[in-house]
Structure 1
């Protein structure tokens, strides 16, 4: 037998086994799924509320008490759940009315699952009904769907007493007979399977319920498998990740949920007993909820695996750690949420447990505050990625290369070759300066000249220094400028501003060195010199500044003035284009200089 056939059969047998186990628990003690009236111990536990012997203090208690009486064929007791006041119905015919309601529920009628019906004395306040009304189900009367309503009529002591409303009683009483053809199951079951009962329900109906459960799952599996098979053929994208993974994640949950819906529909359409359907309603709700939990689990598994694969392909090891942690945390949350919801479906009061979990979680969060802070910081670093392994950066006062970004901390190798470990919580909240992604380097020296420098010499320097920046192939000409900015206490200051086109710090240092040497040559050529931050004493043997060079610089400036070509306060754009990238770089005599004179460094 092929694996494609074995797989659905396996789930089919699992479904039947679960139903058998549940039913085995139901049959000996059906009160597990239909709560009985409160016991004396419960009355003693809550002395502030006077208990009703029939459990009619809440809508859930009243409907479960009514179905228990019907299952016991005690229609006289079942009639005590009707409100006859204000109606023309004779209370003495209450047993016939209870039997009539059972027959109406058997033929396509339904009662809400117990977990959806309020167990509070005040009923539900968010159902858009009057405060004293509660909807518990529906029945079909003469082709029209009628709501089954319960109303709080209050007893003599003013306590809540929930009964089928007078309007519901009149609607039921208006039915003369129930169509026999509506109860399809009774026409096909052998007589001995109808005569023998378990828990107030014929044995044959239990067997039919098992068959319908298996049939519903088989139909659901067939349809979903066919759809999953056809989608990739119709939609090409469904053959690739992540679409294919999402489709696979939805397959099993959709099968279960569709099977539950089909099972509920078939049991209602075939006229199965309302007692049986109501006992199985809790199971169907749980299976539907489990299908949702399986969907969340599968999506979590797929997203985690897909993200882990992407992180690994990019070499982001720390990201893989975060993904695995989040996947485990999500699965734990799904399990806890599922347990609480399922217990609530069975009627277990989980409020205390949730409160305890909340207090415990708060205590844990306070105790592990720093750990959680560091984890959140690591998630921030991985998602924002202000730094990566191998980046040269400055964090606070720490300057160095990032060696590792972990779940708790980040390690940086400093220039002194020491290792600094910074907690990620502190790291993510610090000012981070990353030097690894610069596209250019800022070159901005301040040239301090001697006070003997004449204005024409300054003009000469402004022109020639700018020309060097425009000519140099490693300087961004659109950013280049040289300005006379200040008469300092011991120097005349010229500011050089430009960006060097270098891909790393070593190359920047090479270009900066070349520019500084060329600027020193220009300052020397102008006939002036650099100022010292100290007082200068002149002796008789001091030859002072070069008169010849000073005259040469002044003559050149005079020549610019006469021709109207002085490039101040800025160069003419046409002149910039003429001289741009014309300077030899590397300089003459450098071992990197090519014979062709292109000025390009080998390999760059």
Structure 2
């Protein structure tokens, strides 16, 4: 074969490959069969809706409502012999309807599983669901539906063979319902929606009667509670009773209606249609109860906070109350949509994703809210407290849901986010039970030992005698000799209700200590680095001699209160000073 011929053959094969679809080429190369890429065939729908337990029950109710008992029999597991006999199939369907009318109860449609697998969270075997019961004076039957197909076939749910057998063994030949005995023939023969008009009339009458009877029972229960409960007349008791009245009334109405209609023999068709309404009323009653209890708890908490002066907590309580109410509304909507048959799974998933996105976007806001809740719960500070947060000192002016404001001594406002505040070191000066008094005196080097002994005794005597000093032992110690002074350190605690009062007491004690220092004949030393120009006043020799004589007498009489004070002397000194001093303004006496 020539070179040109080979080239022509090559280009022809390349052109042919381009014409073939890539998917087909890949399939041919990999040996993939055509059936593998095709979508699996859809399962054909059952014309009677028996793919789920809910569809089976609804289809059966519709069939007996249309009085098509032959079709209704197709929802039963029947033996081959019974299935061949049309009359037998019709008899079984009519018997089942009669038993349901006499005292049967099917679960509401929204509660029955709408999945082909049925319920998997109950104690029953896989492929078996409980859908109701029949209870009469002679009969007690549990109603089950069972999946008749295996895993390789589409689901087919039918009333189980055990249920059908129990229906066949029941004797209903002479049994008549209460309505069958009292209703006139006209109301039983004339029908509306394949149900006798008399049944609809009785349903309306029973609704009104159940409402009125429930109202009477609520009134009687209220009177009984007011007589037996001592706090019923209080504001809180009244609020609790009002919160419970409407939900209890709704629950009693539903319970009475269900009991009356089932005992009187109302058609199962009517009762099944009212099932969703009954459950909806029950859910609404529960939601109303949660709503009113939220209002009561919020009102009670706000009154408690107001009485205790915790005004900042009221905003948090209101926020929590509104959040709880919003959650109640959302939960109620989801529950009601589920009752009427709307699949809320996708909505819940979207809500969860949206909640995560919202939480990520509002991370700081949530952090500040959690911080505000922590501040309200722990109460490290309150409005009006003077405190220090890290390096900031100021008076708390407000505690909000997002931030807290402090007014500093420079009259500026500092706003601190609550998330940051809850993680900071908070030093609260307002709630101190006592104030430290800790002056340090530096006396002149010329101070004699007897003068120092006199100062130590008299300064401590002053602290013992002052009524505003805490009873714990005050400390007055000669702590050292520096290059230019003799050092005496005083430590005591002032009993005062606030900073201003403590400063008044401190001022009084310092003035009295200055009198003692002046009386001792010595004086305070000045720092050596300060040049103090003044006329030289020599120490008073008369005062120094007098002090020495006083110390000598204390020693002779064993009354020198150093290094410790005699407890008897301490008791004699306690509260012997007048505070305020004579001549001071005393508003209490006026």
In structure 1, which of residues 130, 136, 140 is the aligned counterpart of residue 131 of structure 2?
A: 136
In structure 2, which of residues 102, 116, 131 is the aligned counterpart of residue 107 of structure 1?
A: 102
Larger mean CA deviation between 139-148 and 162-171 belongs to: 139-148
Q: How does 1:144-293 map to 2 (within 5 A)?
A: 144-155=139-150, 157-181=152-176, 183-293=177-287
Q: Distance in 2 between matches of 1:179 and 1:71?
A: 23
What residue number does 2:122 align with?
A: 127
What residue number does 2:55 align with?
A: 61
1:84 and 1:91 in contact (8 A); partners too: no
In structure 1, which of residues 316, 332, 335 is the aligned counterpart of residue 329 of structure 2?
A: 335
What residue number does 2:464 align with?
A: 470
Decide whether aligned partners of structure 1 residues 236 and 216 sit closer, same or farther in structure 2, where only a CA change above 3 A counts. same
Q: TM-score, normalised by structure 2?
A: 0.82
1:89 and 1:170 in contact (8 A); partners too: no
CA deviations over 1:295-347 (Å, ceiling 9, x no partner): 22223334444555666677766544444433333332222221110110111
**Aligned residues, how many?**
548
CA deviations over 1:504-523 (Å, ceiling 9, x no partner): 32332222122223333434
Which secondary structure state, in structure 1, belongs to the residue aligned with residue 252 of structure 2?
helix
CA deviations over 1:282-305 (Å, ceiling 9, x no partner): 110101111111222223334444
1:155 and 1:161 in contact (8 A); partners too: no
Task: Report deviation, 1:401.
Answer: 2.5
What residue number does 1:512 align with?
A: 506
What residue number does 2:584 align with?
A: 592
What residue number does 2:16 align with?
A: none
Q: Distance in 2 between matches of 1:430 and 1:470?
A: 39
In structure 1, which of residues 422, 427, 432 is the aligned counterpart of residue 416 of structure 2?
A: 422
In structure 1, which of residues 490, 494, 519 is the aligned counterpart of residue 488 of structure 2?
A: 494
Decide whether aligned partners of structure 1 residues 451 and 76 sit closer, same or farther in structure 2, where only a CA change above 3 A counts. farther
Decide whether aligned partners of structure 1 residues 109 and 459 sit closer, same or farther in structure 2, where only a CA change above 3 A counts. same
2:459 and 2:476 in contact (8 A); partners too: yes
What residue number does 2:113 align with?
A: 118
User: Larger Cα Rg: Structure 1 or Structure 2?
Assistant: 2
Structure 1 residue ranges without an equivalent (≥5): 1-44, 594-599
Q: How does 1:387-426 map to 2 (within 5 A)?
A: 387-426=381-420
Which secondary structure state, in structure 2, belongs to the residue aligned with residue 148 of structure 1?
strand
Q: Distance in 1 between matches of 2:400 and 2:118?
A: 53
Which secondary structure state, in structure 2, belongs to the residue aligned with residue 477 of structure 1?
coil
Task: Report deviation, 1:574.
Answer: 1.1
Task: Report deviation, 1:382.
Answer: 4.3
Q: How does 1:473-552 map to 2 (within 5 A)?
A: 473-486=467-480, 491-526=485-520, 529-534=523-528
Q: Distance in 1 between matches of 2:423 and 2:208?
A: 58
Structure 2 residue ranges without an equivalent (≥5): 1-38
Q: Distance in 2 between matches of 1:405 and 1:346?
A: 45
Decide whether aligned partners of structure 1 residues 155 and 69 sit closer, same or farther in structure 2, where only a CA change above 3 A counts. farther
What residue number does 1:71 align with?
A: 65
Task: Report deviation, 1:489.
Answer: 6.5
Which secondary structure state, in structure 2, belongs to the residue aligned with residue 180 of structure 1?
coil
Which secondary structure state, in structure 2, belongs to the residue aligned with residue 62 of structure 1?
helix
Q: Distance in 2 between matches of 1:457 and 1:316?
A: 54
Q: Distance in 1 between matches of 2:434 and 2:201?
A: 81
Q: Distance in 1 between matches of 2:521 and 2:528?
A: 20
Task: Report deviation, 1:219.
Answer: 0.7
